[in-house]
Amino acid sequence: MTDKTTQFDRRNFLKATGLVGSLALTSTAGCLGGDEEAMTLVAGTAPGFPPFEMKEGETLKGFDIDLLEAVVEETEYELSEWSEFEFGSLSPALQNEKIDVIAAAMTIRADRDENIDFTDPYYDANQAILVASESGFTPATMSDLDGANVGAQKGTTGESTVETQLIEENLVAEGDYSSYGNYVLAVEDLVNGNIDAVVLDTPVADSFVADREVQVAFTYETGEQYGFAIREGASELQSTLNDGLATVKENGTYDDIVAQWFK
């Protein structure tokens, strides 16, 4: 069952039966014992990060959703459920065994690696500084953000960039930084003129540029790579997912999913 048609059919089946995002199976997340039911995985994500994960009405969709489902399809595991959190709550949910795997455009970072583990990387990103198109504010460097009101999503590398490059550099006052539950809310505040700039991952900035009155003022190179996260020490699941990722990269499924979400 490795062809693309089968994978996409399976996803539609899950959606049609309401299994995606709603049904809690009786099996315990993370209890990967010997019985059949225990081979199920509960995936966690944080919608509001287009095109990686977002809600269209009640439906959860996006690049990460399709990619993780395609990867798991290549393994002996079954994806039983998608569970939604704010980004900052994903890592605790993984550690508390509420979920077994995170698919949320999560950057592989040494500080995160202390508490959770990552698969091989599957997507590259940098940081973008997003401004409202109508604002006339066109910063070209971090120094140009001197005195600005900036926003980012809680717990992200965007937030770390604000902290290390703007607050610690005494360009932006602590009180002029707003931390949001998700980037959709941050971009709404930007468009409404409540803040001057939003710092976020480049591919997501491009997605907002495509359908909001915002533009990328400049990018700040961070050389980030996204990985799926699993519990610390879950080495069997880690190598299984790495094998699945390698397979979908080799057989063209990865490129198909990229083509679908990055136009």
**Is the sign of the CA dihedral 66, 71, 77, 82 positive or negative?**
negative
Inter-residue contact 153 to 200 (CB < 8 Å): yes
Give the list of residues 6+ apart from residue 188 with CB closer than 8 angstroms, or none. none
Please identify which residue in 132, 201, 229, 254 interacts with ligand GLN, judged by CB under 6 A: 201
Question: Of residues 9-68, which lie at the interface with ligand GLN (CB under 6 A)?
Answer: 46, 49
DSSP bridge pairs for 178: 151
Please identify which residue in 153, 165, 202, 253 interacts with ligand GLN, judged by CB under 6 A: 153
Query: Nearest to residue 103, comparing CAs of 51, 183, 57, 46?
Result: 46
d(CA 116, CA 208): 30
Task: Please tell me whether residue 202 binds ligand GLN under the rule CB under 6 A.
Answer: no
DSSP bridge pairs for 131: 215
Question: Of residues 78-107, which lie at the interface with ligand GLN (CB under 6 A)?
Answer: 87, 104-107
Task: Please tell me whether residue 122 binds ligand GLN under the rule CB under 6 A.
Answer: no
Question: Of residues 164-193, which lie at the interface with ligand GLN (CB under 6 A)?
Answer: none
Nearer CB in complex with ligand GLN: 75/89: 89
Nearer CB in complex with ligand GLN: 32/105: 105
Residues in touch with ligand GLN (CB under 6 A): 46, 49, 87, 104-107, 153, 156-157, 201, 224
